[in-house]
Amino acid sequence: MIEKVILDQQTVLPSEVLAKIDKHIAKFPPEHKRSAMIGALTVVQHFNKGYLTVALMDAVADYLDMPEIAVYEVASFYSMFETEEVGENSISVCTNVSCMLRGADAILHHIENRLGIQVGQSTEDGKFYLKQEEECLAACCNAPMMQINHEYYENLTPEKVDEILDQFK
Amino acid sequence: MTDDIITIEIDGRTLQARKGQTVIQVADEAGIHIPRFCYHKKLSVAANCRMCLVEMEKAPKPVAACATPVMAGMKIKTRSEQAREAQKGVMEFLLINHPLDCPICDQGGECELQDLALGYGKDVSRFTEAKRVVFDEDIGPLVSTDMTRCIHCTRCVRFGEEIAGLRELGATGRGENMRIGTYVKKAMASELSGNVIDVCPVGALNNKPYRFSARTWELSQHAVISPHDCVGSNFYLHTLRGKVQRAVPRENEAINETWLADRDRFSCHGIYSEQRIAQPQLKERGKWRKVSWDEAIEVTVERLQSVIASRGSETIGALISPSATLEEHYLFQCLLRGIGSSNIDHRLQQCDFSHDETMPVAPWLGMDLNAVENLQAVLIVGGNPRKDQPLLGHRLRKAALRGAAIMYVNHRAYDLNHLAEQYLAATCDDLVIQLAAIAKALMQKTNRAVPDALQGLLEQVEVDEQQKTIAENLHKADRALVLIGSQASLSPLYSYIVALSHCIASLASVSFGTIHIGANATGACLAGALPHRKVAGTADEQPGLSAHKMLQSARRAYLLFNVEPELEAWDTATAHRAMHEAEAIIAISNFASPTMREYADILLPLASFAETDGTYINAEGRWQSFTAAAKIQDDAQPGWKILRLLADRLNVSDLAFNSAAAISKVLREQCRNVVLNNTVANIKLPQHDFSAHNRRLQRIADIPIYSTDAVVRRSLPLQQTIDGMEADKASIHPQTAAEYKLETSEYVSVTQNGNTIEFSLQLNEAIPEGCIWIGLGVPGTEALGPAFGDIEVSAS
């Protein structure tokens, strides 16, 4: 596991993070380097165990050669970026129409009971964050579903959820 | 040409339009008003407020006039039922979250939202839910925020990105949580930041120092000209019962477009400083006594006459601000020459005057301001227009965005808002050698001859790749400029800088420009406020002493016209001493600092730039006259009246003018044959050994943006900005700091000419190694010595 690192403004991002960002940069023409911002922020958020800090966003701005405020704008706009400290593993349970009809509410309650937190909260040990998910996560065919750290887990039952969460112990 | 013109119809009127124009542009030109919030003619099109929806024939729904390009035969209706309904709908949405606090809002009365709500809003709101509330951020001393009022037009965001070149504000969050701000707590650093006050269509961003001081409809508006830099920006001063409340830009596409620099906008808050002189005063046995004008003038005349009688008139020195009006410059020099002294100068910051005889009649930009934005290459020597002349800096940035190669040769690196190459020279010798190498590179490229005076120097220098690049950039451009910036004159080798810059420009066959500090240096030269030249550049057969010389070889009496020599002179310590040792110091001035009260003997209160009629000549050579905007404070008098009165009592004839306009008319007549031209012929250069290497620590200096003149120094809001607060710090390269064991000190003791002063220390990689930067014109530096020269430091 990577140690949790809080970078100050002077610190540059570690080379393994930069290598991942470079892969996103390579997808765009060199003069449109800034298009790699969402990819870069995702990499940095995972690296920092689930959330972004101002210092990290500044480092991304510096690396992509753009104004810092432009990074804050993107990070604060998209719901998959966390700009405040949250639990390490982010769980999003879809409760939109298809999932709701297939029992998403029960799945959500099960997770709440198991972790002892409400939607929107993080566990005290900082392991889990149960995110308030507003939108359909686009896996209706295998409803109900949830995302953990932006990975999909589908056709859920309470038992299956327990098995999955056990892996994150 | 005709291919580009198409015909469209708006509201039944047939209009000619150019291809690529948008509907709103054509409508604006035809005087058809379409409501808008986010559209601004100088900014990119965002089309996010939707207020400008209009009906377009054959379109299924209304279109945004700001984002719809014209097409031949297009038929637009701006006031049809469909258009009105769409506009009213948008207005209703905008007002959902806008507070109804117009009675306490400073924008009230000049608010675009308020105005349009009158025409397009409903009298009753259907929205009964709670409105959103946004917490305000502190974004510095100049701009106040009331972000609950924001309608998210993003004009301020686009202004930052597109005009200021410094994106400080942004729209963070989404949906109802979207807000305009800086996200992290910080003050705006742009020198043009005040313009967001004007572009903001609502009361979200307002003028902080002016806040709560007046209602807009009580104000009267007076057109004036910028008294701070040679751009000559046009603006309005707004007054309430004769007192200046605020400044707003006056559109002049040829000069400041629609913008205004913060220095011009907020300097008016310095006018009513506590240090303003209210009444004429005399010092008697160390005590100041308020007197009548008659008595003050009588004593002034007596003092001057007694000095003339006992020591001769050449023992009188006279210094005038380069930001005084043309009329004041003219009367000042006439008065001094009338009593037999030619020791007159406005160039306090300069120390090398060896090329005076061959210098052009007056400094000139070499072209019109708006031509600057079309240049392909610019070499700036000694200056940073971004901070020195912010709206010239804006034109340069425009050129850079169009692909121009902008190059700087300076004693330090500057934080720029455009792409540029910055070449640094640690010492004055270095800077001259760099210029010589550029000239040599061009000489080799063009096989042209250089002036004799420079040949020896050019033989000594070697050309490297950098200098070849600069030469190449200038040589290949069709439209290029070599510009001597307003900080160059601080160099002890200024004459070399002038000679070499001129040589570079002529070798490369490009334009050559010179700009000086102050609003009216061009006017000062034309009016004859120089020791060696009279009006319109005619030589003075008995030239007097330059500013530096008349301070160095102390005079018996000084006449000061709105200057503070102990801050503004090249060698502040020498100036300070000269002031103290003189028998009589007569200060015609807006303000008197405690230092001035120590050395002065007579204080004559002068009307400020807002309270006098006058003329400024900007760097283009444009004469701009203005009339007094505000009532004169207390017992002050306009400069031209004071000088006329003194001239009368001193029996100097022909100065009995009745108005400032009459003076400028006479001057215009005398200057009618003057054609501004920067050509430097047969320049005389002082002997200088460029091979000597000085290894001692050197002071380098420039005049920081908010230290340029007395009124700017007294504007509290400007002094509280980042630029204002950095001005009184000493900056040094981290490497050099380590060398002098300063890397951990917060403060540094600086010794120059035997005087030691403490400064707070800033480690800054923009300063070349082997130097320490200390600004000129900054209060607290009175006891220091020359702007450039040896200096000692130690940790304190």
**Closest CA–CA distance from residue B142 to any residue of chain A (Å):** 20
Chain A residues touching B168 at Cβ < 8 A: 67, 69
CA-based nearest residue in chain A for residue B179: A73
Nearest to A77 among B168, B169, B174 (CB): B174
Above 60 in pLDDT, residue B2? no
The residue among B563, B572, B379 whose CA lies nearest residue B488 is B379
> Could you tell me if B699 and B752 are in contact, meaning their C-beta atoms sit under 8 angstroms apart?
yes
One-letter amino acid of B630:
A
pLDDT of amino acid B757:
93
> Could you tell me if B263 and B228 are in contact, meaning their C-beta atoms sit under 8 angstroms apart?
yes
Nearest to A76 among B161, B169, B173 (CB): B173
- C-alpha–C-alpha distance, residues B516 and B347, integer Å: 9
- Output the CA–CA distances (angstroms, integers) from residue B781 to B89, B370, B388, B728, B777, in the order listed: 61, 37, 20, 8, 8
**φ, ψ of residue A104 in degrees (nearest 5):** -60, -35
Q: In which band, very low, low, confident or very high, does the pLDDT at A11 lie, cut at 50, 70 and 90?
A: low
**Closest CA–CA distance from residue B401 to any residue of chain A (Å):** 15
Q: In which band, very low, low, confident or very high, does the pLDDT at B264 lie, cut at 50, 70 and 90?
A: very high
Q: Are the beta carbons of B183 and A72 separated by less than 8 Å?
A: yes
Above 50 in pLDDT, residue A9? no
The rounded mean pLDDT for chain A is 90
CA-based nearest residue in chain A for residue B176: A77
> Could you tell me if B64 and B42 are in contact, meaning their C-beta atoms sit under 8 angstroms apart?
no
Token digits of residue A74: 């993107």
ipTM of the complex: 0.86
Domain ranges of chain A: 5-77, 89-166
CA-based nearest residue in chain A for residue B169: A69
Helix axes A104-115, A158-166, angle to 10 degrees: 40
Taking only the tens place, the pLDDT of each residue in A107-166 is: 999 999 999 999 999 999 999 999 988 789 999 999 999 999 989 999 999 999 999 999
Q: Is B734 on the interface with A (CB under 8 A)?
A: no
Chain B residues touching A41 at Cβ < 8 A: none
> Could you tell me if B596 and B564 are in contact, meaning their C-beta atoms sit under 8 angstroms apart?
yes
**Residues contacting residue B395 through CB under 8 Å, at least 6 positions apart:** B369, B370, B372, B373
Above 50 in pLDDT, residue A6? no
Taking only the tens place, the pLDDT of each residue in B348-400 is: 999 999 999 999 999 999 999 999 999 999 999 999 999 999 999 999 999 99
The residue among B207, B210, B204 whose CA lies nearest residue B179 is B204
Token digits of residue B96: 């959902």
Per 3-state DSSP, chain B is made up of helix, strand and coil in percentages (nearest 5) of 35, 20, 45
Please, what sign has the CA dihedral across residues B684, B688, B691, B695? negative
Fold of A89-166: Glutaredoxin (3.40.30)
- Output the CA–CA distances (angstroms, integers) from residue B325 to B310, B349, B567, B715, in the order listed: 32, 19, 21, 20
**Residues contacting residue B293 through CB under 8 Å, at least 6 positions apart:** B280, B635, B637, B645
**Which of left, alpha, beta for B33 (phi over 0: left; psi -120 to 50: alpha)?**
beta
Residues counted in chain A: 169
Write the DSSP symbol of residue A16.
Answer: H
Q: What is the DSSP string of A27-79?
A: TS-GGGGGGGHHHHHHHHHHHTTS---HHHHHHHHHHHTS-HHHHHHHHHHST
Average pLDDT over residues B22-32: 96
Chain A residues touching B171 at Cβ < 8 A: 73
Question: What SS3 state is found at B330?
Answer: helix
Token digits of residue B116: 């349009």
**Residues contacting residue B175 through CB under 8 Å, at least 6 positions apart:** none
**Residues contacting residue B512 through CB under 8 Å, at least 6 positions apart:** B366, B481, B482, B483, B501, B502, B505, B506, B678, B679
Taking only the tens place, the pLDDT of each residue in B301-314 is: 999 999 999 999 99
Above 90 in pLDDT, residue B683? no
Q: Are the beta carbons of A72 and B161 separated by less than 8 Å?
A: no
Q: Are the beta carbons of A76 and B167 separated by less than 8 Å?
A: no
- C-alpha–C-alpha distance, residues B639 and B323, integer Å: 12
**φ, ψ of residue B380 in degrees (nearest 5):** -105, 125
Taking only the tens place, the pLDDT of each residue in B685-732 is: 999 988 877 789 999 999 999 999 999 999 999 999 999 999 999 999
CA-based nearest residue in chain B for residue A77: B173
pLDDT of amino acid A8:
43
DSSP E strand boundaries for B438-556: 480-484, 511-514
Taking only the tens place, the pLDDT of each residue in B407-450 is: 999 999 999 999 999 999 989 999 999 999 999 999 999 999 99
Nearest to B167 among A54, A67, A76 (CB): A67
- Output the CA–CA distances (angstroms, integers) from residue B676 to A60, B514, B536, in the order listed: 51, 11, 10
Chain A residues touching B169 at Cβ < 8 A: 69
Taking only the tens place, the pLDDT of each residue in B160-177 is: 999 999 999 999 999 889
The rounded mean pLDDT for chain B is 95
Q: Which helix (H) or strand (E) holds B761?
A: strand B755-763
Query: What residues form DSSP beta bridges with B422?
Result: B408
Euclidean distance between the first and the last CA atom of chain B, given in angstroms as a whole number: 70
Q: Are the beta carbons of A72 and B171 separated by less than 8 Å?
A: no
Q: Which helix (H) or strand (E) holds B432?
A: helix B428-446
Taking only the tens place, the pLDDT of each residue in B392-410 is: 999 999 999 999 999 999 9
Write the DSSP symbol of residue B632.
Answer: P
The residue among B564, B562, B486, B489 whose CA lies nearest residue B779 is B564
Question: What SS3 state is found at B228?
Answer: coil
Q: In which band, very low, low, confident or very high, does the pLDDT at A5 lie, cut at 50, 70 and 90?
A: very low
pLDDT of amino acid B611:
97
Above 80 in pLDDT, residue B669? yes
Q: Which helix (H) or strand (E) holds A89?
A: strand A89-93
Residues counted in chain B: 796
One-letter amino acid of B748:
V
Work out the burial of residue B434: count CB atoms within 10 Å of its CB; fewer than 13 is exposed, 13-18 middle, 19 or more buried. Answer: buried
**φ, ψ of residue B9 in degrees (nearest 5):** -125, 125
Q: Are the beta carbons of A76 and B183 separated by less than 8 Å?
A: yes
pLDDT of amino acid A4:
34
- C-alpha–C-alpha distance, residues B51 and B91, integer Å: 7
- C-alpha–C-alpha distance, residues B358 and B177, integer Å: 65
- C-alpha–C-alpha distance, residues B701 and B26, integer Å: 50
Average pLDDT over residues A100-113: 95
Chain B residues touching A37 at Cβ < 8 A: none
Looking up tokens 């004041």 gives B328
Token digits of residue B584: 């009589």
Q: Using alpha carbons only, how large is chain A's radius of gyration in Å? A: 17
Alpha helices in A87-169 (DSSP H): 97-101, 104-115, 158-166
Token digits of residue B781: 């530096």
> Could you tell me if B732 and B772 are in contact, meaning their C-beta atoms sit under 8 angstroms apart?
yes
> Could you tell me if B635 and B279 are in contact, meaning their C-beta atoms sit under 8 angstroms apart?
yes
Chain B residues touching A77 at Cβ < 8 A: 172-174
- Give the count of beta carbons closer than 10 Å to the beta carbon of residue B97: 19
Looking up tokens 């892969």 gives A23
**φ, ψ of residue B60 in degrees (nearest 5):** -70, -25
- C-alpha–C-alpha distance, residues A50 and A42, integer Å: 9
Alpha helices in B275-402 (DSSP H): 293-311, 326-338, 369-372, 385-388, 390-401
Which residues, numbered 182 to 221 in chain B, qualify as contacts with chain A under a Cβ-Cβ cut-off of 8 Å? 182-184
pTM: 0.93
Which of the two residues, B539 and B682, has the higher pLDDT score? B539
Average pLDDT over residues B112-122: 94
